[in-house]
Structures are given as C-alpha cells and as structure tokens.
Chain A
Amino acid sequence: DQQVKQNSPSLSVQEGRISILNCDYTNSMFDYFLWYKKYPAEGPTFLISISSIKDKNEDGRFTVFLNKSAKHLSLHIVPSQPGDSAVYFCAASPRAGNNRKLIWGLGTSLAVNP
C-alpha cells in the first residue's frame, strides 16, 4: 500500500508555462516532505523541501505547497525550461533528517517542450 502517491506518471508542458506536479500521502505522521529531481543515468538531486508547520516554500522558480488537511502537496515550476525535463520524486518522512524512514513516491516524468 503506497503511502506516498504521485498519480501522474508523466506530464508534458510547453517551455515558459507552469509545471504542476502533484503528490498525495496517506500517513498523518509524515512531518517533512521533499522533492528530488532525477536525470537519466544520474542519481537524484535534492530540489526543495517543506516542513508541516509551513504551507509554502519557495526557491527561485520552484515552489512547494502543502495542504495538510488534504494530505496533498504540489511542486510548481515557473517558468518551465527544457532543462527541467526529468523525473521528479516526492518523498515524505516523520521527521526532518530521518532518511531511514523516508518514503518515496514512484515519480513523475516531466517533459518541457521548446
């Protein structure tokens, strides 16, 4: 039973538009959420995180929104660039820094078309 769900396996967006990647979770004990980005034949790299005490965190073109009551988070990329084409993983943990308990979604493959 997946505790972290990324229901869209793939997403295609035009360059310059907004990309919205969604993630749902079921475990109310999750307190810390992260997004990682992965290019083919490379390891994932950390993108952005959010603690449950916040509902928004922004870093440049990337913003993560958290709706705790809906157990839903989303990653917004504005404006999208072709270099953003990658697989994006959502992950959740009961506590910041507790990577032993990190639960991963299956990923969403984003294609940004020029």
Chain B
Amino acid sequence: DVKVTQSSRYLVKRTGEKVFLECVQDMDHENMFWYRQDPGLGLRLIYFSYDVKMKEKGDIPEGYSVSREKKERFSLILESASTNQTSMYLCATDTPHTGELFFGEGSRLTVL
C-alpha cells in the first residue's frame, strides 16, 4: 500500500511567520501534489512536482513555494503566512499505472 505521510496534522501560526509543511511518500513515485481544501471551494492545486527539483505552478500558487530535493519528500512553504491561508492542506502522489491519487491525512493550518 502507498503511504503518504504529512508531518503535522494541526498547526497554529501567527501572521507573517514562515511555515513549512512536509510530505513524504514511500513508493518512489515521480509525481507529487499539494492541494488545499476549503469549504465551498473544493480541492485546489497549489503546486505539482514531476521529479526531483522539478515543479509546476498549480491553480493557486500565490503566497506559496515548494521544494523537492529528494524524490520521496515534497515540502510546501508559506514564506509569510496570512490569515487567508488558514486551510486544510493535502499532499498526494499518484501511481504511474492507474493514475490513482493517494493522499496524506492532511495538515490543518490556522493562521492567527
């Protein structure tokens, strides 16, 4: 079974703080994704990575950056957190054969 682990389930940060959200997958998959989920807005893609050091902006990249130094690890960075970044953040990877997405359990971030 594919396992996607997100380092923090719940975080509370202050406006202006730098925030790191870490994600690790154990299947040597090339593709990794960061989404945010908000009520009434569904899942929106923030960033996508298709290999080490390779990334693409998703639909809502503003205010975020990412890092993929190792294949198994994909980090989402909020350089200066703002209250409108309070959200559930979901990391995912997909299988090369079926394209099925496997998600982590999510990181609930609150920015005060």
A106 within 8 A of B: yes
Would B101 and A44 count as touching, CB distance under 8 A?
Answer: yes
Q: Once the chains bind, are B101 and A99 in contact (CB under 8 Å)? A: yes
The answer to whether the Cβ of A43 comes within 8 Å of any Cβ in the partner chain is yes
Number of interface residues of B (CB under 8 A): 27
Contact (Cβ within 8 A) A99 B106: no
Interface stretch of the complex, out of B69-77, B78-86, B91-99: B91-99
Known A41-B106, A43-B106; judge A98-B43 contact (CB<8 A): no
Q: Is the CB of B42 within 8 A of A105?
A: yes
* Binary contact readout B1-31 vs A (1 if CB under 8 angstroms, 0 otherwise): 0001000010000000000000000000001
> What is the number of residues of chain A that contact chain B, defined by CB distance less than 8 Å?
21
CA distance A89 to B40 in the complex (A): 12
Q: Which residues of B contact A44 (CB under 8 A)?
A: 43, 90, 101, 103
B99 and A41: CB pair below 8 A?
no
| B9 contact set on A, CB distance < 8 A | 41
With A97-B94, A99-B33 known as contacts, the answer to whether A42 contacts B101 (CB < 8 A) is no
Interface residues of B (CB under 8 A from A): 4, 9, 31, 33, 40-45, 48, 50, 56, 90, 92, 94, 96, 98-106, 108
14 contacts between A and B (CB under 8 A): A32-B99, A36-B101, A44-B90, A44-B101, A46-B102, A93-B99, A97-B94, A97-B98, A99-B31, A99-B92, A100-B31, A100-B56, A102-B45, A105-B42
